[in-house]
């Protein structure tokens, strides 16, 4: 068992009890001083790591440890009006925009285009598994150490300006859509706890998120025009 340590994510204090020191290192950008009263205590166990390894071919025990502690956090987040969402969030003009799509659709490719064409007007929030937390009137995107293979993340909390379902297309087109028309792909990106009470709360939070934040569908190619179309649709602005 590695030394426990504390991180700050989503305005919450979390004490982690991982198996490996590598998990502590993974969370480096989010370290905070130890606290006696963390909001969440999450841990990893040899059994959970073994199980994770049996599910994912080629994974290392260290990588599994990182996943196991995050799952323990994710199971506890609904009590704090927060959920883990699989998607890539960037910040532009003070707002965060969250791109979501099944793995392999090209979220990273699209976000790279934003960096390439808009330079430092765009900043990464989190490239893979940010937390969405209800705020007083809106929703905040909260970065976490869990940021996919590229490890694109910046320790920050940014108000969410929109959720955008990304699809590969022949042309570039964005439009506002009703979330119910795309509900299955959307719900699949929300972490759903196995515990009934936590799942119930997760669905309530997801309902609030969708009613507070606009939802878009973007069909796009890999081009500068894709960024221009997305930017105008999401923010109303020109590059």
Minimum distance of another protein from residue 34's CB (angstroms): 34
Minimum separation from the CB atom of position 194 to another protein (A):
5
Residue among 34 and 200 whose Cβ is closer to another protein: 200
**Residue 56 contacts another protein per CB under 8 A:** no
Kindly state the tokens that stand for 3.
């030394």
| Residues contacting 67, CB < 8 A, separation 6+ | 52
Residue 100 in contact with residue 165, Cβ under 8 Å? yes
With a CB cutoff of 8 Å and minimum separation 6, the contacts of 65 are 18, 19, 20, 22, 23, 44, 49
Residue with Cβ nearer another protein (75 or 91): 75
> Least distance to another protein from the beta carbon of 121, Å?
33
Among residues 72, 82, 77, the alpha carbon closest in space to that of 52 is found at 72
Residues 69-108 contacting another protein, CB under 8 A: none
Of the two residues 21 and 181, which places its CB atom closer to another protein in the complex? 181
The H or E element that residue 22 is part of is helix 21-26
Whole-angstrom distance, CA of residue 53 vs CA of residue 56 = 5
- 3 or 211: whose CB is closer to another protein? 211
Whether 43 and 162 have beta carbons less than 8 Å apart is answered as no
Q: What residues from 21 to 50 belong to the interface with another protein (CB under 8 A)?
A: none
Of 26 and 85, which CB lies nearer to another protein in the complex structure?
A: 85
State the sign of the Cα–Cα–Cα–Cα dihedral 62, 87, 235, 136.
Answer: negative
Residues 6+ apart with CB under 8 A from 162: 95, 97, 98, 213, 214, 215, 216, 234
Rounded least distance, CB 103 to another protein, Å: 16
| Total site size for another protein, rule CB under 8 A | 18
Least distance CB 85 / another protein (angstroms):
14
Which residue, 109 or 195, is less far from another protein as judged by CB? 195
Q: Is the four-CA dihedral 212, 214, 217, 221 of positive or negative sign?
A: negative
Residue 227 CB, nearest approach to another protein (Å):
29
Q: Give the span between the Cα atoms of 102 and 167, in whole angstroms.
A: 9
Restricted to residues 161-220, the positions that interact with another protein (CB under 8 A) are 178-180, 183-184, 187, 192, 194-196, 199-200, 203-204, 206-207, 210-211
| Residue ranges binding another protein (CB under 8 A) | 178-180, 183-184, 187, 192, 194-196, 199-200, 203-204, 206-207, 210-211
């Amino acid at each position: 068992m590695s030394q426990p340590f504390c991180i700050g994510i989503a305005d919450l204090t979390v004490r982690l009890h991982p198996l490996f020191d590598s998990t502590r290192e993974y969370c480096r950008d989010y370290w905070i001083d130890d606290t006696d009263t963390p909001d969440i205590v999450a841990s990893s166990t040899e059994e959970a790591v073994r199980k994770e390894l049996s599910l994912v071919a080629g994974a290392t025990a260290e990588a599994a440890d990182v996943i196991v502690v995050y799952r323990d956090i994710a199971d506890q987040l609904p009590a704090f009006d927060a959920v883990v969402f699989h998607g890539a969030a960037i910040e532009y003009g003070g707002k965060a925009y969250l791109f979501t799509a099944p793995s392999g659709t090209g979220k990273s490719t699209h976000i790279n285009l934003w960096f390439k064409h808009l330079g430092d007007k765009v900043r990464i929030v989190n490239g893979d598994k940010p937390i969405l937390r209800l705020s007083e009137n809106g929703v905040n995107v909260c970065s976490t150490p869990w940021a996919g293979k590229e490890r694109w993340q910046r320790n920050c909390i940014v108000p969410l300006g929109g959720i955008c379902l990304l699809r590969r297309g022949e042309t570039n087109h964005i439009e506002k859509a009703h979330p119910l028309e795309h509900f299955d792909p959307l719900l699949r990106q929300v972490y759903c706890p196995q515990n009934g009470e936590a799942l119930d709360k997760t669905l309530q939070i997801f309902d609030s998120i969708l009613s507070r934040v606009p939802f878009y569908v973007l069909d796009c190619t890999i081009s500068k025009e894709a960024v221009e179309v997305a930017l105008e649709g999401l923010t109303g602005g020109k590059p």
